[in-house]
Structure 1
Amino acid sequence: MSRAAALSDSLARGAVAPSKALLAGEVGAFLHMRWAAAFGRAVPLPVQGEGRPVLVLPGFMASDNTTARLRRSLAGAGFAVHGWGLGRNLGVSANMLEAIDRRVAEIASDRPVTLIGWSLGGLIAREYAKCAPERVSRVITMGSPFSGDPRANNAWRIYERVAGHPVDCPPVQCTLSEKPAVPTIACWSARDGVVAPASARGQEGERDLALEFDCTHMAFIADPKAIRTVARLIVD
């Protein structure tokens, strides 16, 4: 799809980058939420993990440290939860899906794994599930811009500078809006100051369920209510 066609499609879906006011709210809350995401105490969860394997993929410029509170909370409820183990997420690379495949084989060789991806991590999770659906139980994305124009967000410019490729031309073959052949849940928020809600929500046929959260972009992996909701989505 050409850039002009993608923009027209995005506008038709209501997918435009969040306002400067919402982005300012993200910036203002960044330090607090980043601290909570990395160091906040585990959140008591109303579910039993029963050893279900879970792999959590961080967002752009984030690492496993940023998803620590979410993972601690899931571990405390009995999930066999793991970080992606690939360091800081600096963008999509040509061998990234192979690296995810090796990680999945390490942590869940005999059981399908639930993939939880925050922001860019959710896009990677969806693409991996398309390649290896037999290894994936379900995909849960949080504020991940898989639908419409990939520039309907406030992060694409810095992404292109860091990753070294256009946001709509990654070094892997993919159609972001195409749904994986596994249950796929898209978590989105009208308060998201980074990703357009319509891009993270998607349309019928692009995901199985879209669930609205009441949180900022950063809070998807830090806010106790959001963490409890994500935990329920794994077992429901």
Structure 2
Amino acid sequence: MTIQHSPPPQCKKPSLLSILLEVRAPFEFAAIGLHAHTLSKAPKGDGRPILLVPGYQASDTSMKPLGTYLHYLGYQVYYSQLGRNKGQVNSDMLRVGRRCEEIAEELNGQSVTLIGWSLGGVLTREAARLYPKSVREIITLGTPIKGGPKFTSIGKQYIALNKIDIDSFEIDVHQRNCIGFDQAVTSIYSKTDGVVGWQASIDTYNPQANNIEVVSSHLGLGVNPQVWKLIAETLHNSRVN
């Protein structure tokens, strides 16, 4: 790993109001029904493989609604098979990368699009860096790109469970980010995210990064109709003609 001497960027944690507004996540899921007609008119898929990676303390079940929608659009949908994401980044990013290799081999070398929610997005970014031949594109949802758990509202819990030094971890995250990767990357974030400070979700490391703001809770990002529409459009725009 190339050692970077620049200090890690500093961001803010979510505000108390944003944390309290996380209670609206079920209503965002319910809103899918109200937007069903619009979502049904989204650009149809080209059959490419997409691997969905869940966030911290979540499992593949949390990604099933989005996966069902992407399958409806015409994509081949795969799941991470990580079990519950317990925040073991160093081992899980390798598992995600190897999963991409397996899918690519199964599909005669066709590279995989990765979509990661929250910490799942960290795993997709690292997999893209370490397994470039198997990863085509990355889309992240409310991912703590900067600082690891430092700029999140659940940082203390994560630190306690994983027994890490937050300052050392922050530097390691910064150094990994500075290496960068070549694949297309889209970071979808919300300024009312109550788990991850929104500035930390903006990718300033990769010049090709597309950062898109939505209005959503953190817990609702994966089931938000606006986010689903953006994902469909992003995938459509990155087709190989």
Same fold judged by TM-score > 0.5? Answer: yes
Which amino acid in structure 1 is aligned with residue 190 of structure 2?
S
One-letter amino acid matched to 1:192: D
- Residue 111 of structure 2 is matched in structure 1 by 112
- Contact 1:34/1:218, CA 8 A, preserved across alignment: no
Contact 1:191 1:216 in 2 (8 A): yes
How high is the sequence identity, in percent, across the aligned residues? 27
CA contact (8 A) 2:149 2:158 kept: no
* Offset at residue 215 of structure 1 (A): 1.2
Q: Is residue 159–residue 167 contact of structure 1 (8 Å, CA) maintained in 2? A: no
8 Å CA contact retained: 1:121, 1:144: yes
Partner secondary structure for residue 133 of structure 1: coil
- Give the CA deviation at 1:87: 0.6
Q: Cα distance, 1:200 vs. partner?
A: 0.4
Partner SS, residue 82 of structure 1: strand
User: How has the CA–CA distance of structure 1 residues 190 and 207 changed in structure 2, closer, same or farther, with 3 Å as cutoff?
Assistant: farther
Consecutive unaligned residues in structure 2, runs of 5 or more: none
Superposition deviation, residue 206 in structure 1:
6.0
* Matching residue of 1:177: 177
Question: Residues 155 and 194 of structure 1 are in contact (CA less than 8 Å); yes or no, is this contact kept in structure 2?
Answer: yes
Aligned to 2:139: 140
Match in the other structure for 1:54: 50
Q: Is the 8 A contact 2:89 2:123 kept in 1?
A: no
Instruction: List per-residue Cα deviations over 1:115-150 (Å, max 9, x = no partner).
Output: 111110111110110001111111111111112574
Superposed CA deviations along residues 94-134 of structure 1, whole A, max 9, x for unmatched, are 43233213311332322111111111011111011000111
Separation of aligned partners in 1, 2:70 and 2:130: 26
Cα root mean square deviation, aligned: 2.6
Q: Select between 45-54 and 201-210 the one with higher mean Cα deviation.
A: 201-210
- Aligned mate of 2:63, from 41, 64, 67: 67
Residue 67 and residue 33 in structure 1: after superposition, are their counterparts in 2 closer, same or farther (change >3 A)? farther
Change in 2 beyond 3 A, CA 1:165/1:32: farther
Q: 1:214/1:206 Cα in 2 relative to 1: closer, same or farther (>3 Å)? A: same
Change (3 A) 1:104 1:45: farther
Shift of 1:167: 4.7
Contact 1:115/1:125 (<8 A) preserved: yes
Greater displacement, 225-234 / 68-77: 225-234
Mapped to 1, the partners of 2:203 and 2:141 lie a distance apart of 12
> In structure 1, what residue type is equivalent to 2:184?
P
Task: Give the counterpart letter for 2:74 in structure 1.
Answer: G
Q: Distance in 2 between matches of 1:177 and 1:206?
A: 12
Q: Does 1:124 align with 2:118?
A: no
8 Å contact from structure 1 (residues 152, 195) kept in 2: yes
1:29 and 1:134 mapped to 2: Cα distance?
39
User: 2:82 touches 2:92 (CA, 8 Å); kept in 1?
Assistant: no
**Equivalences, count:** 221
Correspondence 1:185-196 to 2 at 5 A: 185-196=186-197
Matched with 1:212 is 213
1:78 to 74, 80, 88: 74
Moved over 4 A (4+): 30-37, 167-170
Contact 1:219-1:226 within 8 A present in 2 as well? no
TM-score, structure 2 normalization? 0.81
